[in-house]
């Protein structure tokens, strides 16, 4: 029987297939904080997260605010022989363009700036109205966008790059970590926590419920 | 419960890769909930993964032959490749940094290419053993795959910061582009590989 666009087997049980091995499960409603694992391969199928909408919304909003701070201040400053230079998220990405390496510029811009910001914006677009009790137009499309770009955001890797650059350069000059480094660390914490709080299954269920005109 | 001791595919069902809805949909029809085109298995997964893996393996050669950056201090310095960069980090006693760069730029991309080739071959020959181990390798690849971007970010940061004229400059070289292409290709290769084929081939051939 089909109810709310979800294939339901028996009372209160939803048919679920493992994303890694395709094994079928009949999923009962999960108690709060519970994690469901695949019986065959052990992959995490779903988890129930209390208050996930408000938590994810708050953390995603914090991530976006921190992004503006990261962009407004230098990550690292270098002092050598009376000269000073600094690097920001944007100036670092664009620098290789002066050497004609636009392919690398695009790669760095997308993975360290555009995809992470777009991911936040798409999540906010879906979550904010949902917390207030209605579904925004194009929610399905926006949530699909968020899903497909999330593996391409590489803020964590970027942070490691900043740390390596810091240690490497402190050998030859005075390096001062800028405000943006601390903001970037906080951003990393918030975006990871937001990712952990997000319950995609529940959001799809809500979007699906409203889209019940489908067969 | 006995009726569920099988896969979605063998029950004529398809799991949506985006919203996880399980429906009795025909192949290549849009998901009723999120409109993503549905396939029981990722289409032409093996062919696409082979092509992307081989392209990454080929480009890994120029990525290592061409220098990635030139450090000029007091007018001295020459273009260095990834491995020469690691060697100079060891010479200056920066062991932890040398380890990070070596793991991110050599171990991760080469490991990914080797794991992908092993998984592809094992599916082709229908290997029935080491299923859990192969799934573990697949998960390892998913988790650590994008950390090879560290070197790219490092070059952009260093070249922007170190512009001290006659005292010291760092300039990027062509190898960065090749290495960036390797990173992107291996990420795409890992994403086009369908881990469900590991289970399918282990059961179909016996």
What is the rounded average pLDDT of the residues B39-45?
95
Is the CB of A21 less than 8 angstroms away from the CB of B168?
no
Using CB atoms, pick whichever of A75, A107, A211 lies closest to residue B152: A107
Q: Is the model's pLDDT at B79 over the cut of 80?
A: yes
Confidence (pLDDT) at A3? 40
Nearest to B196 among A20, A81, A99 (CB): A20
Reduced 3-state DSSP string for chain A: CEECCEEECCCCCEEEECCCCCEEEEECCCCCCCEEECCCCCCEEEECCCCHHHHHHHHHHHHHHHHHHHHHCCCEEEEECCEEEEECHHHHHHHHHHHCCHHHHHHHHHHHHHHHHHHHHHHHHHHHHHHCCCCCCCHHHHHHHHHHHHHHCCHHHHHHHHHHHHHHHCCCCEEEECHHHHHHHHHHHHHHHHHHHCCHHHHHHHHHHHCCCCC
CA distances from B196 to A39, B1, B8, B27 (A): 14, 22, 11, 16
Alpha carbon distance A200, A190 (integer Å): 18
Domain boundaries, chain B: 1-40, 42-204
CA distance A6 to B182: 40
* Look-up of token digits 């701070």: A69
pLDDT value for A82: 85
Q: Among A183, A162, A69, A168, which residue's Cα sits nearest to residue B152? A: A162
**Secondary structure (DSSP) of B23-75:** E-PPTTPBPTTT-PBP-SS-TTHHHHHHHHHHHHHHHHHHHHHS--EEEEETT
**Strand B69-73 to B168-172 pairing:** antiparallel
Both tokens of A54, joined, read 């408000």
Select from A179, A176, A181 the least CA-distant residue to A155. Answer: A181
Q: Is the pLDDT of residue B68 over 70?
A: yes
Q: CB distance A108–B152 less than 8 Å?
A: yes
Round the average pLDDT of chain B to a whole number and report it.
92
> End-to-end alpha-carbon separation of chain A, Å?
11
CATH architecture of B42-204: Up-down Bundle (1.20)
More confident residue, A13 or B38: B38
Q: What's the confidence (pLDDT) of residue A211?
A: 43
Do the Cβ atoms of B193 and B40 come closer than 8 Å?
Answer: no
Count residue pairs from A and B with Cβ separation < 8 A: 200
For the stretch A97-154, pLDDT in tens is 999 999 999 999 999 999 999 999 999 999 999 999 888 999 999 999 999 999 899 9
Q: Which of residues 89-128 of A touch B (CB under 8 A)?
A: 91-93, 95-96, 99, 101, 103-104, 107-108, 111-112
Q: How far apart are CA B12 and CA B139, in angstroms?
A: 27
Secondary structure of residue B171 in the 3-state scheme: strand
The residues of chain A scoring below 50 in pLDDT are 1-6, 8, 210-215
Interchain CB distance below 8 Å, A78 and B191 = no
Please answer yes or no on whether A87 and B160 come within 8 Å at the CB atom. Answer: yes
Read off the pLDDT of each residue in B48-75 and give the average, rounded to a whole number.
95
Q: Give the pair of three-digit tokens for residue A124.
A: 């906010």
B104-120 pLDDT, tens digit each:
999 999 999 999 999 99
Candidates B2, B9, B21, partner chain A, best to mutate (most A CBs within 10 A): B21
Interface test with A, best of B156, B180, B182 (most A CBs within 10 A): B156
Element (H, E) at B145: none
ipTM: 0.92
Cα A28 to Cα A112: distance, rounded to the nearest angstrom: 39
Q: Give the whole-number percent of chain B exceeding pLDDT 90.
A: 75
pLDDT at A209: 59
Q: What confidence score (pLDDT) does residue A6 get?
A: 46
């Amino acid at each position: 029987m089909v109810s709310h666009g979800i294939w339901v087997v028996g009372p209160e049980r939803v048919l679920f297939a493992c994303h890694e091995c395709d094994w079928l499960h009949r999923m009962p409603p999960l108690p709060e904080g519970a994690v469901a694992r695949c019986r065959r391969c052990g992959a995490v199928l779903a988890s129930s997260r209390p208050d996930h909408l408000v938590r994810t919304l708050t953390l995603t909003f914090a991530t976006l605010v921190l992004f503006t701070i990261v962009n407004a201040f230098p990550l690292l400053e270098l002092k050598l022989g009376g000269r000073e230079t600094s690097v920001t998220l944007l100036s670092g990405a664009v620098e290789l363009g002066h050497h004609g390496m636009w392919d690398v510029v695009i790669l760095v811009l997308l993975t360290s700036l555009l995809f992470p910001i777009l991911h936040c914006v798409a999540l906010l677009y879906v979550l904010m109205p949902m917390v207030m009790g209605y579904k925004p137009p194009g929610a399905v499309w926006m949530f699909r966008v968020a899903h497909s770009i999330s593996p391409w955001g590489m803020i964590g890797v970027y942070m490691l790059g900043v740390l390596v650059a810091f240690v490497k350069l402190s050998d030859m000059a005075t390096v001062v970590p800028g405000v943006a480094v601390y903001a970037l660390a906080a951003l990393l914490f918030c975006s990871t926590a937001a990712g952990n709080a997000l319950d995609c299954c529940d959001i799809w269920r809500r979007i699906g419920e409203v889209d019940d005109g489908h067969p | 419960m006995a009726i569920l001791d099988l896969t979605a595919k063998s029950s004529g069902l398809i799991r949506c890769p985006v919203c996880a809805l399980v429906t009795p949909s025909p192949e290549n029809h849009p998901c009723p909930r999120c409109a993503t085109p549905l396939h029981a298995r990722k289409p032409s997964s093996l062919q696409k993964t082979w092509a992307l893996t081989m392209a990454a393996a080929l480009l890994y050669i120029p990525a290592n032959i061409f220098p990635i950056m030139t450090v000029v201090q007091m007018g001295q310095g020459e273009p260095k490749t990834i491995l020469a960069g690691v060697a100079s980090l060891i010479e200056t006693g920066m062991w932890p940094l040398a380890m990070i760069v070596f793991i991110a730029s050599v171990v991760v991309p080469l490991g990914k290419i080797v794991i992908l080739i092993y998984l592809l071959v094992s599916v082709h020959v229908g290997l029935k053993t080491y299923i859990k181990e192969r799934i573990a390798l697949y998960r390892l690849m998913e988790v650590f795959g994008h950390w090879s971007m560290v070197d790219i970010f490092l070059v952009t940061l260093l070249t922007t910061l170190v512009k001290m004229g006659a005292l010291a400059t760092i300039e990027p070289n062509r190898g960065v582009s090749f290495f960036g292409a390797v990173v992107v290709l291996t990420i795409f290769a890992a994403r086009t590989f369908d881990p469900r084929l590991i289970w399918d081939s282990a059961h179909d051939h016996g």
